Structure 1
Amino acid sequence: MSIYYHRGDLPAGLAFENGVAIDSETMGLNLQRDRLCVVQLSAGDGDAHVVHFPDRDYRAPRLRGLLADPKVLKLFHYARFDLAMIQRHFGIVCSPVYCTKVASKLVRTNTDRHGLKDLCRDLLGIDLSKQQQTSDWGAAELSEEQIAYAASDVLYLHALRRKLDELLDREGRRALADACFSFLPIRAALDLAGWNEEDIFAH
């Protein structure tokens, strides 16, 4: 396993034919107030790339090209938030999308624990540390601990997808999951437009 740290953009020459696992780190969870600080990615090959935006410069042409590429599947855990942050800061709608949290909720109905730490433990036997989750991601320089934490959030998403796909097929819910994944960019747009607390489908 290797972790690569980049400022402002991805390097040239990376390949993501099997989809790209993506996560983000922000100054907080308020979509209107808090800024995007880090985007981390993995091709599922055991390596992770941590892209840091200390200067709030989101031009990042190579990262933008990857995020906007309709031929590359983007894997997230809780895609709703990351997609909204990407839409807000990059002006890009990511598609196609796969969300391990949504998949888990559709097939792991025997539990109410659907966090990334829970999935890694239950499906992969891996214990993730969440110690750096609330650290200062807006710092001009990230610590080695922050970079390692950011990488851990994407290193296992490909393996989780394979496990969850098996469960989706077993329970006959693959088509339902695909429909939910297709709707996620719209759900993110609704959040950004102010409907984050309201269920517009409720009576």
Structure 2
Amino acid sequence: MKPTIHYLTTAAAIAEAAAHFATLPRIGIDLEFDDMRYRYGRHLALVQVFDGREVYLIDPLPLEPHMAEGLEPLFKVLRDPAVAKVFHSCKSDILLLDELFGVHCRNIVDTSVQFTMLAAEDNNISLGRLISSEMGFEVDKGEQKSNWLKRPLTEAQKEYAANDVLYLFELTDKLTARLTELNRVHWAEQENQALEDVRYGRDDLRPWTRNATKFKITPDELPLYRELYKLREKLAKEIDRPPYHVISNDKLAELARHPITTANQLRAANGLHPELKRAPYAAQFLDITNVDHDPEPPLPPEQRRFPFRRRLHGPAAARAEARETLLLALKTHLATDHGPVMANMVLSNRIIAEIIEQGADAVLRPWQQQLISHTADNHGVDYGSVRAPFA
């Protein structure tokens, strides 16, 4: 039997529903949002809530330009630690809530985290596949990439959105039972507690370095790539279109390798948004491609990873390598005792690099430290030597 689906479009209706949610021990929740797919930036498009019996689809778009105010009763529930919020793979959702509204969700239960603690496989599991594996049936995921900012929503979109929360209670209960059998419930609780501290990073001073196509260019071409990237962002924001609508990532790398330097070349170029060929952007584009640009300065020390093989020499390098060797030995023992999935989860290459620099006490959760310490004792490895920061 299909649940009742309430479609809420007014601040009054949202406030009434939120007052109901505030009385519950838990709610299932998910967000639909546009992330540089149809518009510039990230935009909340829909909030889905399940109360255990019925689904509420909360449409924030009719609330504009007072979206935050209209959603505040719901945000109050999200901040309330008395109400558990059951998500699946919530990191993108909580980053969006922080970025757009400064909302920090409390008492999070993430079914993806719970499944990960089972150490059944390496990769994060999708909601559809988790429903299939735990509940034995398929749900339609055909609307996953649809335009959630377009109105009116179709019935197929509403059904898809409802399915994203409808099974969360059953899933978390099944996963909790499995974790209880393995004595790992507290592991998942620690990981979910850590999600409360996830915050949107507003200090990315070099966003172009996160673009995968930067690996297609040489260091000498990076300064031009950087300036073209900035121009692309400027125009994309002005016309409210995703940056790839202005210049694709591959085209951006191509322009850094083979610059367009004349007005005739610019007019004849393919793969560029028409606005780039008109004033004032045409002149700005040619100004960028016809001058030399300052090279990328080195990152400040606090933003660098710990490439000890390049930064350390002599006895210091030997000590760092000894820490790495010990951690790799521990990883091998973890794989023997608990399987390779658990070993990669607890001592991934990234985590090993962080422990070498910062020490295990600063990097690892208590459950990870307990597991590694027990493994080290069983195999005669001196775990204590990597608990403190590198010195």
Please indicate the TM-score interval, normalised by the length of the shorter structure: 0.7 to 0.9
Secondary structure at the counterpart of residue 14 of structure 1:
helix
Partner of 2:35: 28
Partner of 2:86: 75
Instruction: Specify every segment of 5 or more residues in structure 2 that has no aligned partner in the other structure, as ranges.
Output: 211-302, 306-349, 355-391
| Aligned partners of 1:54 and 1:141 also within 8 Å | no
| Aligned partners of 1:18 and 1:44 also within 8 Å | no
Displacement, 1:186?
2.0
Tell whether 2:60 aligns with 1:58: no
Distance in structure 2 (CA, Å) of the matches to 1:154 and 1:193 = 33
In structure 2, give the amino acid aligned to 1:58: A
Partner of 1:17: 24
In structure 2, give the amino acid aligned to 1:41: V
Aligned residues: 200
Partner of 2:325: none
Indicate which of 139, 149, 174 corresponds to 1:138. Answer: 149
Displacement, 1:22?
0.6
CA pair 128-7 structure 1, distance change in 2 beyond 3 A: same
Secondary structure at the counterpart of residue 169 of structure 1:
helix
Partner of 2:223: none
| Aligned partners of 2:31 and 2:93 also within 8 Å | yes
Distance in structure 2 (CA, Å) of the matches to 1:193 and 1:185 = 20
Tell whether 2:167 aligns with 1:161: no
Displacement, 1:86?
1.5
| Aligned partners of 2:96 and 2:200 also within 8 Å | no
| Aligned partners of 1:22 and 1:42 also within 8 Å | yes
In structure 1, give the amino acid aligned to 2:90: A
Secondary structure at the counterpart of residue 145 of structure 2:
coil
Identical aligned pairs, as a percentage?
25
Displacement, 1:110?
4.7
TM-score by length of 1: 0.87
Instruction: Specify every segment of 5 or more residues in structure 1 that has no aligned partner in the other structure, as ranges.
Output: none
| Aligned partners of 1:18 and 1:43 also within 8 Å | no
Partner of 2:162: 151
Partner of 1:120: 131
| Aligned partners of 2:5 and 2:56 also within 8 Å | yes
CA pair 190-85 structure 1, distance change in 2 beyond 3 A: closer
| Aligned partners of 1:8 and 1:58 also within 8 Å | no
Higher strand share: 1
Secondary structure at the counterpart of residue 58 of structure 1:
helix
Of stretches 17-26 and 189-198 in structure 1, the one that deviates more from structure 2 is 189-198
Partner of 2:9: 7
Of structures 1 and 2, the one with the larger relative CO (CA 8 A, separation 6+) is: 1
Highest Rg: 1 or 2?
A: 2
TM-score by length of 2: 0.47
Distance in structure 1 (CA, Å) of the matches to 2:171 and 2:119 = 13
Distance in structure 2 (CA, Å) of the matches to 1:131 and 1:53 = 23
Partner of 2:51: 43
Displacement, 1:158?
0.4
CA-to-aligned-CA distance 1:123-176 (integer Å, 9 cap, x gap): 112311110111111113211111111111000000000000011111111111
In structure 2, give the amino acid aligned to 1:174: V
